[in-house]
A and B are shown apart, each in its own frame.
Chain A
Amino acid sequence: NAGVTQTPKFRVLKTGQSMTLLCAQDMNHEYMYWYRQDPGMGLRLIHYSVGEGTTAKGEVPDGYNVSRLKKQNFLLGLESAAPSQTSVYFCASSYPSERGSGRETQYFGPGTRLLVL
């Protein structure tokens, strides 16, 4: 099993450009998440999904959109990139082993480093 994979690994954008980050998981997980990691800020949740066709906003959703058309894929879009979106983006997934328990382990991808000039 590949686990959680992310594409691309690194990208440089100019302000105003758009791009899509792809996350794929092969563990049949119901839940998927997008985080950004910034120095001194830890990880902050951007958007998440609790199942195919559903998405919801996290802590810092502005400037991002997501789609979950297939259970195994979770896409993060930047419609008009800004320098403030320079960050490392992590995707994660989890399976609700005990629905409602909060005990699920999240499995993370290797990250995408994005630089917006």
Chain B
Amino acid sequence: GNSVTQMEGPVTLSEEAFLTINCTYTATGYPSLFWYVQYPGEGLQLLLKATKADDKGSNKGFEATYRKETTSFHLEKGSVQVSDSAVYFCALSGSGGSNYKLTFGKGTLLTVNP
């Protein structure tokens, strides 16, 4: 079945540092890939997505590239801010007739210190 593995947290960075959160996946077919973010006390919201190989999703300075050859979708940001402190989830869509369902990774807690 489908699965998502993302780097264990927590990750603690200083403001303006470079961020990478690794995400690899196992899937059949051609899933779409997503990064969701959960700010403290809130629900998840979509950060970015990519729907086919070599696509790059980007939003709010975050980027991730769909790499089919390495089955990866790593999240990067060149200069993090305190306001980026949150839990980040990598996810992929299902396959076949149920590809609207998402499989989530366990989440990575990011804390950015001033």
User: Hey, which bits of chain A sit against chain B, CB under 8 A?
Assistant: 4, 31, 33, 40-45, 48, 50, 58, 90, 92, 94, 96, 100-111
B residues 98-113 near A (Cβ < 8 Å) are 99-102, 104-107
Q: Does B43 have its Cβ within 8 Å of any Cβ on chain A?
A: yes
Known interface pairs A101-B32, A102-B94; A42-B89 also in contact (CB < 8 Å): yes
Residue of B nearest to A4 (CB): B43
Which of B31, B100, B104 sits near A43, CB closer than 8 Å? B104
Contacts of B36 in A (CB 8 A): 108
Q: B104 and A42: CB pair below 8 A?
A: yes
CB distance from A11 to the nearest CB of B (A): 16
Q: Does B65 have its Cβ within 8 Å of any Cβ on chain A?
A: no
Known interface pairs A31-B100, A45-B101, A108-B44; A102-B106 also in contact (CB < 8 Å): no
Q: A102 and B89: CB pair below 8 A?
A: no
* 19 new A-B contacts at CB < 8 Å, known A104-B100, A108-B44: A4-B43, A42-B106, A43-B89, A43-B104, A45-B101, A50-B100, A96-B100, A100-B97, A101-B51, A102-B32, A102-B93, A102-B100, A105-B34, A106-B44, A106-B46, A106-B102, A109-B43, A110-B43, A111-B43
